[in-house]
Amino acid sequence: MNKLPAARRFLCVLLAALLFLLSSCAGAGQKTVMQVGGNKISYDEYRYFYINHRNSHENAGETGYADTLKGQVEASLRMKYAKMNMAKEHKLTLNENDMTAVANMKNYYIESYGDIETFRNALAQGALTEELFDDLLEFQALDEKLYEYIIDEYSGLVISDDKTVEAYINNHFIHATHILILNEAGDDIAANLRLASELRDRALSGEDFNGLIDQYNEDPGMEGDNTGYYFTNGQIIAEFENAARALDIGEISEVVLSQNGYHIIKRLTLDPEYIDEHFEDLRKAYKARMYAVLTEERAAVIEVEYTDAYDEMDDAALVANAYIKTDSD
């Protein structure tokens, strides 16, 4: 269902999957609104996280999220600086080749938009300045380097021998498939919900679930494949994971709303043959989870301090991008 070339879909991906990969310093001419682990957070950086968390809720049709929104922004900043601190501790930095790759990546995206001004306008629509975009690409590269270091067997930080991984899969992985009805721009959302509800009723009435997947599923990741997904904690969108974990084997969920659309989820058994055949892929998923655990532990203990400027920001001002000037401006 992706309708744009890969490069021009970048901002949508960036604002979702890479939401937690922003590195930055306080922008010139802006007040510091927070400090996280002693690092200054500028208005632009804070607003980037705030707007994109907010948009995630809005795009999913959610309400009543205002009380939790600032906490989600803080959690994102904690995670970012936890990774930065871990990279420093392990003396990981970007070398010349890394920076060249970052520059080439940026040029690729600029070219995909045709010219620099169109590119900058697209960034602005995603609550990004060009400076923050550059920092994001650099941090993405550093995060990848940290990940490879942490999961490498020689670091000794993640144990990933066959016995350990197999035990983890059997105790913590879930196998689930689903029918996804995408909520895309211009869609009749109510009609999508009616369709999802009808498909759930048909499945509960005994109609073949795989047949319904073949006919109606709009998940591009499952095109031509009814296997579904094997995943562990934090490796799939939260609404899907939470619903799947609540199911018994063979049970079908209620209609589940996520930022992608409406899901009808069916939990399946773990297939030993599938596990054997895809063991190395599952080992990678296990390593990714262990990396997440280590960074989450560090993020939980990072100190956060607020400045007076933090109290000046409210939802309306952040949405309208009401610039906070420094005392010297």
**Mean pLDDT on 208-221:** 95
**What amino acid is encoded at 51 in this protein?**
I
> Above pLDDT 90, what percent of the chain?
74
Local confidence band at 324 (pLDDT 50, 70, 90 cut-offs): low
Compute the distance between CA of residue 250 and CA of residue 23 in angstroms, rounded to an integer: 43
Would strands 174-182 and 229-231 be described as parallel, antiparallel, or unpaired? antiparallel
Q: Which helix (H) or strand (E) holds 239?
A: helix 238-245
Among 50, 146, 155, residue whose Cα is nearest residue 98:
146
Tokens (6 digits) for 269: 């058994």
pLDDT, residue 259, reads 85
Among residues 63, 21, 27, 59, the alpha carbon closest in space to that of 43 is found at: 27
Name the more confident of 13 and 249: 249
Cα separation, 109 vs 122, in Å, equals 11
pLDDT of residue 37: 85
* pTM (two decimals): 0.78
pLDDT tier at 77, thresholds 50, 70, 90 = very high
Tens-digit pLDDT profile for residues 110-138: 999 999 999 999 999 999 999 999 998 99
Position 30 scores a pLDDT of: 67
Phi, psi values for residue 251, rounded to 5°: -80, 150
Q: What is the three-state SS of 134-185? A: HHHHHHHHHHHHHHHHHHCHHHCCCCCCHHHHHHHHHHHCEEEEEEEEECCC
DSSP letters for 54-67 = HHHHHHTT--S-HH
- What does the pLDDT look like over 271-283, one tens digit per residue? 999 999 999 999 9
Q: pLDDT tens digit string along 12-58?
A: 444 444 444 433 344 433 689 999 988 899 999 999 999 999 998 88
CB-based contact 33:313 (threshold 8 Å): yes
Which is more confident, 63 or 324? 63
Judged by average pLDDT, the poorest of 147-156, 189-198, 202-211, 219-228 is 219-228
What is the structure's pLDDT at 107? Answer: 96
Closest Cα to residue 262, out of 179, 175, 149, 151? 179
Kindly compute the dihedral angle of the four CA atoms of residues 202, 205, 207, 213, in this order, to the nearest 10 degrees: 40
Q: Are 119 and 113 in contact (CB under 8 A)?
A: yes
pLDDT digits (tens, 9 = 90+) for 172-194: 999 999 999 999 888 999 999 99
Residue 3 pLDDT > 50, yes or no? Answer: no
CA neighbor of 58 nearest in space, from 4, 16, 20? 16
pLDDT over 90 (residue 294):
yes
Checking if the pLDDT of 301 tops 70, the result is yes
**The pLDDT of residue 31:** 83
100 phi and psi angles, rounded to 5 deg: -65, -40
- Residue 266 to residue 97: CA distance in whole angstroms: 45
Which pLDDT band holds residue 223 (cuts at 50, 70, 90)? Answer: confident
289 Cα distance to chain centroid: 14
Of 259, 272, 270, nearest in space to 56 by CA: 259
Domains of the chain and any CATH numbers: 7-157+290-320 (1.10.4030), 174-269 (3.10.50.40)
